[in-house]
Structure 1
Amino acid sequence: MTAAFQDDIRENEIIAPRRLAERLRFSMAHLARVARLDRKAMTLYPSAPTVQIKLEEIARVITRAAELAGEEGKAVIWFKHQPLSGVGKTAAELVANGDIDIVMEDLDRMAAGVYS
């Protein structure tokens, strides 16, 4: 399941912004905001290291959440709509603010069976 997600968002060994946006049901502009990238740079230079690092962060969150939820669709819904307990922001909002560590720590707590 998560391997299929990773395969589907890749094109020529890189994460394709358009494919990731489609899987998340985001516009390209929204994906750029969440990834903290310039939309034009993301589109014109998708293989740039900065672009790939930011897109990989999002892919890593979705993959980890899908492993825990058992389904990619649930992981995407969680990423977009479910505020993290004690934080009051969604994972997408936190990633957009540069707080991916908070999201990954929350996922680690969930994996350890700690639900707050």
Structure 2
Amino acid sequence: MMDTVSIDHGAAAISGFVESLQEPRTPYISPKRFSKALGVQVAGLANLAGVHRNTLRNPASERLQDKLREMVRVISAAATLTGDVSKAIYWYRNEPIADYDHRTAAELVAEGHADAVMAHLRDLENGASG
């Protein structure tokens, strides 16, 4: 069982990750910072977000920000399970999910299925604790 210090440290890491994505002096997630965190070119971020690359030219675009928030929500939930943001990002981009035709969380979120990925993470969490 995790002790309180580990849980606090994990929550702080996730909070730090989310804060690191902020476009300076704005309430927006920075596409440039997020692409760097994910280890992809900015054009690759458009692919992962399921938006046209030209959409990234307007970081304040509500559609873009909605997609980026969905990605952050899933990665944060995965990081809560793994205890590590880097492992969560790796999982998000690379691990096929058997229940979803072996597509990755990134592919599913880009296709608009963030809620399905969140349900999968809840199942994992419940299986791990139950």
Same fold (TM over 0.5): yes
1:33 aligns with 2:47: yes
User: Percent of pairs identical after alignment?
Assistant: 35
Q: Equivalent residues in 2 for 1:1-116 (5 A)?
A: 1-11=13-23, 12-42=26-56, 44-87=57-100, 88-113=102-127
Q: Highest Rg: 1 or 2?
A: 2
Higher percent of residues as helix: 2
> What runs of 5+ residues in structure 2 fail to find an aligned partner?
1-12
Write the distance in 1 (CA, Å) between the matches of 2:110 and 2:65. 15
Q: Tell me how large the CA RMSD over aligned residues is.
A: 1.5
TM-score of the pair, normalised by structure 1: 0.91
Ranges of 4+ aligned residues in structure 1 off by more than 2 Å: none
> What runs of 5+ residues in structure 1 fail to find an aligned partner?
none
Write the distance in 1 (CA, Å) between the matches of 2:103 and 2:54. 27
Write the distance in 2 (CA, Å) between the matches of 1:80 and 1:53. 19
Write the distance in 1 (CA, Å) between the matches of 2:33 and 2:78. 18
User: Residue deviations 1:78-114, cap 9 Å, x none?
Assistant: 0011111322111011112222122111011112125
Count matched residues: 114
User: Residue deviations 1:32-79, cap 9 Å, x none?
Assistant: 01211121221x210111111011000111111001100001001100
